[in-house]
Chains A and B, each alone.
Chain A
Amino acid sequence: MSEESQRTEQTERREPILEVRDLVKHFPLTQGVLFKRQVGAVKAVDGISFDLYPGETLGIVGESGCGKSTVAKLLMNLEAPTSGTIRYKGEDITKLSGRALKAVRRNIQMVFQDPYTSLNPRMTVGDIIGEPFDIHPEVAPKGDRRRKVQELLDVVGLNPEYVNRYPHQFSGGQRQRIGIARGLALRPEIIVADEPVSALDVSVQAQVVNLMERLQDEFGLSYMFIAHDLSIVRHISDRVGVMYLGKMAEIGSDEEIYEHPTHPYTQALLSAVPVPDPEAEGRRERIVLEGDVPSPANPPSGCRFRTRCWKAEARCAEEVPLLAIPTPFEKAESGVAHPSACHFAEERAAVVAA
């Protein structure tokens, strides 16, 4: 990680706002009705480290079951990690509780995937967006709240007169704007967005992405943008991490990941994305992976990806590849010099349609 932060020019002189180290979350599998005994664990997140810098967007991509949503829940303190640390401005927030946790929560907020379940159907929009002020009364004096709620509605592009309406009276895109307004209310520094546009209609997705980018500039927010849509992640992210089965497979700047991927999983993922251009489609090589993602309750030994990897050798089953800049590329000038957890990392031409 440290080499990584030295290299990236724009982040060179800044301290990370969030440092995640060796984060692990295992969900126990139990049997029995009254006396529960543990029979195993779902290794949803299994040793993940990354940094988030002020004002940047870190994209996290991966398929279902890779643990990306669990990472979001851990960052939000909605789940307690099995081990590992999450430092916000140097302070480990996994150990906090009570008043100290509440104070930190003001600075880290979340935008959820499904705008239909993330708003309480029995609260008015005014109450939903105003709730952060009820919980943190120090942010806005009582008489000021209503005005603040209306300002927030305006900021996210909704009519401020909508305060007395209920969520079901809005469309998906409008609801997601309400969710974003709630996330902004406490003026947080970090927003964790878990698939914020994937439940929306195609023509509305771009509106919400634009809104999020505008708000980032306006309020100097740092984003953790979790999604499975690679093209949207590329558009919005400064750096991108690729997750597979609870581990980070590869991490780097958007250019390093999209132009110079060295991990076979990243290459396969990029090549599999359908490109809306029939002519480019013919020109690129598609890597079709065999089989499905293994169960996180029983992940393969060594490299997690080896069961679907065309390069896998005996070493991959024995030795867990570390997330580091691969030795052959340490001195490389081009974008290949970024951390990649593969024993046989190499570049591969024509995986991405230009």
Chain B
Amino acid sequence: MTLLEVRDLHVDFHTRDGIVKAVNGVNYQVEAGETLAVLGESGSGKSVTAQAVMGILDMPPGRIPKGEILFHGEDMLTMSKEERRKIRGARIAMIFQDALSSLNPVLSVGYQLAEMFRVHQGASRKEAKAKAVELMDRVKIPAAKARVSDYPHQFSGGMRQRIMIAMALALEPDLIIADEPTTALDVTVQAQVMELLADLQREFNMGLILITHDLGVVADVADKIAVMYAGRIVETAPVKELYKAPAHPYTKGLLESIPRLDQKGKELYAIQGLPPNMAKVPDGCAFHPRCPVARDVCRSELPPLAEVGEGRGSACHFWKETLGE
């Protein structure tokens, strides 16, 4: 059975300026042991989707008017609050971008790790602490035993992110959602943390949803990618195929706008214009005002996510043209 399946998910926000449709019919699946990367810019709806899956969306102002989120085949949106709470943290865990603000500054990291075992498994104080040290070892924090009573601010950014990973792993969840886990870290530390995350995922055979805006990070670890734009998935594909031959002009533009060797001294390819204002998403294909291949049909008709190959989809009227070039 599929570990997680999101079906036709919609999320609205009620704001002063009216209803903002942040997520507009998103579908994706993650299997055990698989990494799905959700790629998008700010406002694309990538984080909102994850928050809806995790059940931490602020409602209100958020609202889920439509959709299903199936975890092991069961729709989490129809579950009771108590049932959802049991899944959250124990079976689906989340890692955030900013580790410092996700950890309580006045409690030692050991206490915060141990708390997971005490609350969810009813472990004794001593057992819980031993498990906390073991976890810190597992995420390769040097001298774990000595540092278990240290406070978050005494760790560096990379170490704090390891502690967040340890916390997410504590109850051996089936699925981890990582929202920009390495964006706040330095390049050399980024590599360490991504490697750790990938190793642990393999070891525990977990599903991983990696939310990011960084095409480079994705290429490294993901099995498949969903590219989001203006609240919709515009392209899905296995990672290698997407990089080799993107089937949506937005993905293609993103890939081409990365500086490359042979472009040195020339103008960078740049996607024209600005990401859309989510309160006023353009009609038809939301990308059409910025799209180099846009035609009349794009302004009026919303392209469906069409199957363009095995396990690949593209929400572009002219995907053949985009792929063929």
A and B co-occur in one complex: yes
B188 at the A interface (CB under 8 A): yes
Question: Please, which residue of chain B has its CB at the minimum distance from the CB of A64?
Answer: B186
Question: Please, which residue of chain A has its CB at the minimum distance from the CB of B155?
Answer: A292
Name the A residues within 8 Å of B189 (CB-CB): 63, 292
0/1 string, B271-313, CB within 8 A of A gives 1 = 1101100000000000000100000000000000000000000
**A300 CA / B63 CA spacing, docked (Å):** 53
**A174 CA / B270 CA spacing, docked (Å):** 15
B274 in contact with A202 (CB, 8 Å): no
Interface size class of B (residues with CB under 8 A): 35 or more
A101 at the B interface (CB under 8 A): no
0/1 string, A192-233, CB within 8 A of B gives 1 = 000000000111111101100110000000000000101110
Min C-beta distance of B281 to chain A, whole Å = 15
**A293 CA / B240 CA spacing, docked (Å):** 33
Stretch at the interface among A143-151, A182-190, A267-275: A267-275
A272 in contact with B191 (CB, 8 Å): yes
A274 in contact with B188 (CB, 8 Å): no
Name the B residues within 8 Å of A171 (CB-CB): 274-275
**A64 CA / B190 CA spacing, docked (Å):** 12
B267 in contact with A213 (CB, 8 Å): yes
Apart from A202-B41, A203-B270, A278-B243, 20 more pairs, CB < 8 Å:
A171-B274, A202-B214, A202-B254, A203-B257, A203-B290, A206-B271, A231-B259, A234-B264, A236-B259, A269-B187, A274-B214, A274-B216, A276-B215, A276-B218, A276-B255, A278-B220, A286-B191, A288-B195, A289-B191, A292-B189
Min C-beta distance of B269 to chain A, whole Å = 7
Question: Please, which residue of chain B has its CB at the minimum distance from the CB of A61?
Answer: B187
Name the B residues within 8 Å of A63 (CB-CB): 186-189
Name the A residues within 8 Å of B272 (CB-CB): 207
Nearest 10 pairs between A and B by C-beta?
A: A274-B216, A235-B259, A206-B270, A63-B186, A206-B257, A276-B215, A292-B156, A272-B191, A203-B271, A201-B41
A281 in contact with B219 (CB, 8 Å): yes
0/1 string, A120-137, CB within 8 A of B gives 1 = 000000000000000000
A210 in contact with B268 (CB, 8 Å): yes
Min C-beta distance of B53 to chain A, whole Å = 23
A235 in contact with B264 (CB, 8 Å): yes
> In terms of DSSP, what is the predominant structure of the interface of chain B?
helix
List A residues 237-276 near B (Cβ within 8 Å).
Answer: 254, 268-269, 272-276
A203 in contact with B275 (CB, 8 Å): yes
Select one of B186, B218, B254 contacting A293, CB under 8 A.
Answer: B186
A277 in contact with B275 (CB, 8 Å): no
Q: Assess A278 versus B187: contact at CB under 8 Å? Given A206-B257, A235-B264, A292-B157.
A: no
**A337 CA / B186 CA spacing, docked (Å):** 28
Question: Please, which residue of chain A has its CB at the minimum distance from the CB of B184?
Answer: A64
Select one of B192, B219, B253 contacting A276, CB under 8 A.
Answer: B219
**A173 CA / B270 CA spacing, docked (Å):** 13
Question: Please, which residue of chain A has its CB at the minimum distance from the CB of B41?
Answer: A201
A333 at the B interface (CB under 8 A): no
B217 at the A interface (CB under 8 A): yes
Name the A residues within 8 Å of B243 (CB-CB): 276-279
List B residues 232-250 near A (Cβ within 8 Å).
Answer: 239-240, 243-244
B264 in contact with A204 (CB, 8 Å): no
Q: Assess A276 versus B240: contact at CB under 8 Å? Given A64-B186, A289-B192.
A: no
B41 in contact with A203 (CB, 8 Å): yes
B187 in contact with A204 (CB, 8 Å): no
B219 in contact with A230 (CB, 8 Å): no
A202 in contact with B268 (CB, 8 Å): no
Min C-beta distance of A55 to chain B, whole Å = 14
